[in-house]
Chains A and B, each alone.
Chain A
Amino acid sequence: MKPYLLAATAAFALASLGAQAQTTLNVGMSAADVNQLDPHRATTTQDKPLTAWVFNGLVRFKPGSASLEGLEPDLAERWESSPDKTTWTFHLRKGVKFHGDYGELTADDVVFSLKRAGDQKSSSFYADYAPIESIEAVDPYTVRIKLKQAVPAFLGLVTNYHGGFVVSRKAIEKLGENFRLNPIGTGPFKFDAYKPNESVTFTAHKEYFRGAPKIDRIVYRLIPADSARDLAFSSGELDVVYGRQDQKWVERLKKEKGVEVTVLRPAELGLLHLNTKMKPLDDKRVRQAVAHAINQKQIVSFKGDLTADPPVSVVPTGYLGTAETPMLPHDVNKAKALLKEAGFTGPLAVKSVQSTLPSMLNTAQILQSQLKQAGIDLQLEVVDHQTFHANIRKDLSGATYYTAARFPVADVYLTQFFHSRSIVGTPTAVTNFSHCAVADKEIEAARTEPDLAKQKELWATAQKKIIEEVCAVPLFEQLQVWAYKTNVDFGYKLTDAIHLGPVITEATTKK
C-alpha cells in the first residue's frame, strides 16, 4: 500500500472517529429568527445569549451570575485606577486569538471596540459611554481610559455585556456590514453558519485562551412554536431549551425525567406607560385611576409565582439604584371615584397599540379585564410586532405595555424611559412613551454625583416622582425560564443570566 493511501485511510479513520466523538449541543430558542449577532447592536432575548458565547470583555460577569459585585478578569489580566477614579489602566492578557485568521488581540482592538460602542452610528449603547473622555493604547497590551468624571459603576461598561464586548478591528474593517451576521470575537465558540428562520451554528474555538472548549458544536435552533420546541426537547433533539414563562410549563417540565428547570434573573420589568400628553390620560386623576384599577398580585398569579415577581418600582429589582417605592394600591372603588371626579361617566376609552406577540398580548388581556372592572375600556389596537415598534415610537399609543431589562444601573432605565430627552417623536427619542419629564433634574444630577449614597438618594427621589406623577404603572417582573437535560453540565452553577440565557463556556460538557 502506498504511503499516501495509508495516510488517507488513517485520516479517514480519524475523521470518522472524530465525527463519532463530536459533541453537539442543541439549543432551542423561542423566536422566528435572530436579528443581530453584532454585540453592540444585539438587544433581543434571542440575540443576547449568543454574544456571550462569541465575545469577551475586558472584565466579565462570572458565568451564571448577573451581579456587578463579582466581576472577574477576562481579556484584561489586571487593572488599576487613579485615586479619583477618573483614569483606568487595563493590562491585557497576551496571546489571545481572534476566531479564524484575524490574529492576536491587541490594545488597538480594545480601543477600536470601545470607541465603536460609544458611537451612535455603530452602537445602540452609545449613551452609556458618554462619560468617557479618551481611550488610548499605551502599548499593544495596555489600554488607558480617561473619564470626564468618576462613574460609580464604570467597570460595568467594560464587561462582557452590550458595548463592553471586544470585537476584531480587522474583521469589522474587512466584513463591513456583513459583520452583523458573521461575528468575529475571541470567545470559546466561533460563528459557523446562519440559516435564516432556522438555525445558527457555532464551532469550538480551539485556541480559546481559557482552553479548548469541550463541546465541539452548538446548534442554536429557532423554533417559535412553543409546543414544537417542547416536543423536540422531550424527544431528545434539543438539550437546552428556552422555556415558556408560565407556571404550568415549569410544573410539567419539572416532572420530566432527566430534566432540570431553572428560573433566572435578571428579570424583565413590565410597565404600562401612560401617555401624559394624550386624552384622557393627560388628566392625572385618570392615570391614578388606571393605577388603582391594576391588580399586580393577580397579574403575578396569572403569570405564575415561580416565573413572575411583583414589581418594586419603575426600575427592575437588583439594579444599582433601584429603590423600593410605594405604589398606588389596588382599589377599584377609588379608581371609579377618581374617574367621576375627573368628570368621566360611563366607560372611558383608552387606546393602546399592542403587539401580536402572544406573551405580550396575554398580559394586555389581563390588564384589559382588570381595567374594565373600573369602567376603563382598554381598546387594544393589535398589530404585528414591527408595526407595534414603529407606532409606539410615533406617539400613537395612549397606554403602552412594554417589558425590558437594561444595563443593571438605574440611570439607564430612568434615562431611556423617563428623561424628557428620550421622549418618542423627538430627534433624541429613545423609549419615553409617557412624555414623562418630572425627574430630569434628579436623573441628570445622579449621573455626575461622585458620592454613591447621594447618588442612590437622587435615583430614589426620581423613582418616587415618576410614580407619583403616574408616568407608568409597574405591573410585574418576568423571570427567564430555561430547561436543560441533566447530562448537560454548564461548568458553573446556573443561577442568573445577565445575557438572558445560559453562557456556554469552554468548561461546558454534554455526556
Chain B
Amino acid sequence: MLRFIAKRLLLALPTLWAVLTLVFLLVRVVPGDPTIIVLGDQASPAAREQLRQRLGLDKPLLVQYGEFMVQIAQGDLGRSLVTNRPISADVAAVLPYTIELTLAALFIGSLIGVPLGVVAAQRRDGFVDWLARIVSLAGLSFPAFVSGILLLIAFAVELRWFPVISTVNTSDPLERLRALALPAINLGLIMVAYVTRVTRSGMLKALSEDYVRTARAKGLPSRLVVWRHALRNVLIPVVTVIGLYLGVLIGNAVLTEIVFNRPGLGKLIVSALNQRDYALLQGLMVVTALAIVFANILTDLTYGLVDPRVKTA
C-alpha cells in the first residue's frame, strides 16, 4: 500500500508542476501588484518601484519563474510578499482549521445524506422521497454566505447554543467543537444534496439488481438486504462523489470561513489573490493541489475498503 501511495505521489508531480506554472502565469496577468497593500494607497511611485525591486518583481518573468521553481524543488515555500512571514508557518497555522472543517462537513454530509438517500429510494415517489429531495436541494440553493447568517441568527443569537465568532477559545477542545458545529453544518449542507442524490439513484439501481431480488426471495429481512447488501454497492459512487467534491468543498469553505470568522486555506487563498501576494498564492496552491492529490489517493484506497473486488494496485 505504501508503494501504491508513493507511486501515486510521484505520478502527481507533473500535475503539481502544471498547476504551479498555471498559477504563476495567471496571477501575473491580473492588474495591480502587492505594493498597494505593503505601502498603502498614498505611497509615491518611486517608493513603489523600489519595493518592486526589493521583492524581485522587476526581474524578467522567466527569471522569477526559474527562481520560484528552484525554491519549490528544495521544498521551500518561501516568504509572503506582503507579511514577509514564512509561508509554511501561515499554512501550518490555518491547515488544522481547514482539515477539521472539511472532515466535519464530509461527516455531516454523509451522516445525513446516505440515510436520506436510502430511505428516499425505498419510499420512492412517496412523501419521504419528495421531502428528502427538496430538503437536499435547499442546501444547494442558498449560497453558503446566506445560509451561514441564517444559521447564526437561529442558533447563535436566538438560541445561544453556539458562538458567532468561532475562534475565540481554541485551546479548550469542547469549546472548539462547539465553535465548529455551525460552520460544519453550513458547509455540510452542500454535501448533503450531492450525497443524497447519488445514494438515492445508486440505491434504486441496486434494489433492482438480481442479487438483491435473490436475497429478498430467500427471505432475508428487508432491512438487512437494504442496509448491508444494497448499500455496499452504493458506497462506491458515494465515495467517488465525495472525493470529486472535495475541491468544491475547499472552495466553498471560503464563504463559510468569512461568515464565521474562521481562519482557513480558502480564505487565505482569496486574500492572497486580493492582495496580489504572488508568493503566498503560489505556495497555497501547492498545498491545495497536494491536498486534492491526497484526497484522490484516499478515495481510491477507500474503494478497496468498501468493495474488496477493487484492487488498489
Q: Within the complex, are A and B direct neighbours (CB within 8 Å)?
A: yes
Task: Report yes or no: A237 in contact with B152, Cβ–Cβ below 8 A.
Answer: no
Pairs A–B under 8 Å by Cβ, sample size 11 = A43-B42, A124-B44, A181-B83, A196-B83, A196-B263, A231-B156, A235-B164, A386-B36, A390-B33, A428-B45, A430-B42
**Alpha-carbon distance A32/B50, docked complex (angstroms):** 27
Interface membership of B160, Cβ < 8 A: yes
Question: Which of the candidate stretches B237-245, B270-278, B299-307 sits at the interface with the other chain?
Answer: B270-278
B193 to chain A, nearest CB (A): 23
Kindly report which residue of chain B lies nearest to residue A124, judged by CB atoms: B42
Tally of contacts, chain A with chain B, CB under 8 A: 128
| Residues in B whose Cβ lies below 8 Å from that of A197 | 263, 267-268, 271
Task: Report yes or no: A124 in contact with B40, Cβ–Cβ below 8 A.
Answer: yes
A118 to chain B, nearest CB (A): 12
Given contacts A234-B157, A237-B165, A389-B32, contact A221 B40 (CB under 8 A): no
| Residues in B whose Cβ lies below 8 Å from that of A232 | 164-165, 261
Interface membership of A442, Cβ < 8 A: no
Name the contact of A44 in the complex, choosing from B40, B47, B83, B260 (C-beta under 8 A). B40
Task: Report yes or no: B165 in contact with A41, Cβ–Cβ below 8 A.
Answer: no
Given contacts A177-B84, A198-B167, A234-B157, contact A221 B31 (CB under 8 A): no
| Residues in A whose Cβ lies below 8 Å from that of B276 | 386
Task: Report yes or no: A121 in contact with B47, Cβ–Cβ below 8 A.
Answer: yes
Task: Report yes or no: A178 in contact with B93, Cβ–Cβ below 8 A.
Answer: no
Given contacts A177-B84, A235-B160, A384-B274, contact A198 B39 (CB under 8 A): no
**Alpha-carbon distance A36/B39, docked complex (angstroms):** 8
Interface membership of A88, Cβ < 8 A: no
Interface membership of A180, Cβ < 8 A: yes
Task: Report yes or no: A225 in contact with B274, Cβ–Cβ below 8 A.
Answer: no
| Residues in B whose Cβ lies below 8 Å from that of A196 | 83, 90, 263, 268, 271
**Alpha-carbon distance A423/B7, docked complex (angstroms):** 59
| Residues in A whose Cβ lies below 8 Å from that of B83 | 181, 194, 196
CB contact list, A357-393 vs B, under 8 A: 383-387, 389-391
**Alpha-carbon distance A221/B261, docked complex (angstroms):** 9
Size category of the A interface is 35 or more
Task: Report yes or no: A223 in contact with B261, Cβ–Cβ below 8 A.
Answer: yes
Kindly report which residue of chain A lies nearest to residue B93, judged by CB atoms: A195
Interface membership of A228, Cβ < 8 A: yes
A201 to chain B, nearest CB (A): 12
Interface membership of A227, Cβ < 8 A: yes
Interface membership of A53, Cβ < 8 A: no
A485 to chain B, nearest CB (A): 15
| Total count of chain B residues near the partner, CB < 8 A | 45
A280 to chain B, nearest CB (A): 25
Q: C-beta contact mask, A176-199 vs B, less than 8 Å → 1, else 0?
A: 011011000000000000111111
Task: Report yes or no: B41 in contact with A231, Cβ–Cβ below 8 A.
Answer: no
B109 to chain A, nearest CB (A): 23
Task: Report yes or no: B271 in contact with A36, Cβ–Cβ below 8 A.
Answer: no
Given contacts A386-B36, A427-B46, contact A43 B84 (CB under 8 A): no
Interface membership of B259, Cβ < 8 A: yes
CB contact list, B30-86 vs A, under 8 A: 30-33, 36-47, 50, 83-84
Given contacts A44-B41, A221-B165, contact A198 B33 (CB under 8 A): no
| Residues in B whose Cβ lies below 8 Å from that of A427 | 45-46
Interface membership of B168, Cβ < 8 A: yes
A351 to chain B, nearest CB (A): 16
**Alpha-carbon distance A228/B186, docked complex (angstroms):** 14
Task: Report yes or no: A237 in contact with B168, Cβ–Cβ below 8 A.
Answer: yes
Q: Which of A41, A125, A428 has the most CB of B within 10 A?
A: A41
Given contacts A225-B145, A231-B149, A390-B31, contact A32 B274 (CB under 8 A): yes
**Alpha-carbon distance A223/B84, docked complex (angstroms):** 23
Interface membership of A429, Cβ < 8 A: yes
| Residues in A whose Cβ lies below 8 Å from that of B152 | 227-228, 231
Interface contacts beyond A237-B163, A385-B274, A429-B45: sample of 11 additional A-B pairs, CB < 8 Å, sorted by A? A124-B44, A177-B84, A180-B84, A196-B268, A225-B149, A228-B164, A235-B163, A237-B164, A383-B31, A386-B36, A386-B274
Task: Report yes or no: B258 in contact with A224, Cβ–Cβ below 8 A.
Answer: yes
Main secondary structure of the interface of A (DSSP, over half): loop
Interface membership of B19, Cβ < 8 A: no
Task: Report yes or no: B32 in contact with A225, Cβ–Cβ below 8 A.
Answer: no
Interface membership of A496, Cβ < 8 A: no
Name the contact of B31 in the complex, choosing from A43, A126, A194, A391 (C-beta under 8 A). A391
**Alpha-carbon distance A391/B33, docked complex (angstroms):** 11
**Alpha-carbon distance A394/B83, docked complex (angstroms):** 26
Task: Report yes or no: A43 in contact with B41, Cβ–Cβ below 8 A.
Answer: yes
Interface membership of A247, Cβ < 8 A: no
| Residues in A whose Cβ lies below 8 Å from that of B157 | 231, 234-235
Task: Report yes or no: A228 in contact with B50, Cβ–Cβ below 8 A.
Answer: no
Interface membership of A42, Cβ < 8 A: yes
Q: Which of A47, A124, A196, A199 has the most CB of B within 10 A?
A: A196
**Alpha-carbon distance A389/B263, docked complex (angstroms):** 26
Kindly report which residue of chain A lies nearest to residue B36, judged by CB atoms: A389
B180 to chain A, nearest CB (A): 16
**Alpha-carbon distance A238/B274, docked complex (angstroms):** 26
Interface membership of B153, Cβ < 8 A: yes
Q: Which of A195, A224, A232, A383 has the most CB of B within 10 A?
A: A232
**Alpha-carbon distance A50/B39, docked complex (angstroms):** 16
CB contact list, A3-59 vs B, under 8 A: 32-33, 35-36, 41-44, 47
CB contact list, B78-119 vs A, under 8 A: 83-84, 90, 93
| Residues in A whose Cβ lies below 8 Å from that of B275 | 33, 386
Interface membership of A120, Cβ < 8 A: yes
Task: Report yes or no: A198 in contact with B164, Cβ–Cβ below 8 A.
Answer: no
Task: Report yes or no: A198 in contact with B261, Cβ–Cβ below 8 A.
Answer: yes
Task: Report yes or no: B164 in contact with A387, Cβ–Cβ below 8 A.
Answer: no
Name the contact of A36 in the complex, choosing from B40, B156, B168 (C-beta under 8 A). B40
Q: Which of B33, B37, B163, B261 has the most CB of A within 10 A?
A: B261
**Alpha-carbon distance A199/B153, docked complex (angstroms):** 23
**Alpha-carbon distance A383/B274, docked complex (angstroms):** 11
Kindly report which residue of chain A lies nearest to residue B43, judged by CB atoms: A124
CB contact list, A83-134 vs B, under 8 A: 120-122, 124-126
| Residues in A whose Cβ lies below 8 Å from that of B148 | 228
Name the contact of B40 in the complex, choosing from A35, A181, A237 (C-beta under 8 A). A35
**Alpha-carbon distance A10/B156, docked complex (angstroms):** 38
Task: Report yes or no: B32 in contact with A235, Cβ–Cβ below 8 A.
Answer: no
| Residues in A whose Cβ lies below 8 Å from that of B268 | 196-197
**Alpha-carbon distance A429/B46, docked complex (angstroms):** 10
Task: Across the A-B interface, give the 7 residue pairs with the lowest CB-CB distance, nearest first.
Answer: A390-B32, A386-B32, A124-B42, A232-B164, A43-B40, A120-B44, A387-B31
Q: C-beta contact mask, A201-231 vs B, less than 8 Å → 1, else 0?
A: 0000000000000000000011111011001
Kindly report which residue of chain A lies nearest to residue B257, judged by CB atoms: A197
Task: Report yes or no: A120 in contact with B156, Cβ–Cβ below 8 A.
Answer: no
Kindly report which residue of chain A lies nearest to residue B273, judged by CB atoms: A384
Task: Report yes or no: B45 in contact with A41, Cβ–Cβ below 8 A.
Answer: no
CB contact list, B1-47 vs A, under 8 A: 30-33, 36-47
| Residues in B whose Cβ lies below 8 Å from that of A237 | 163-165, 168
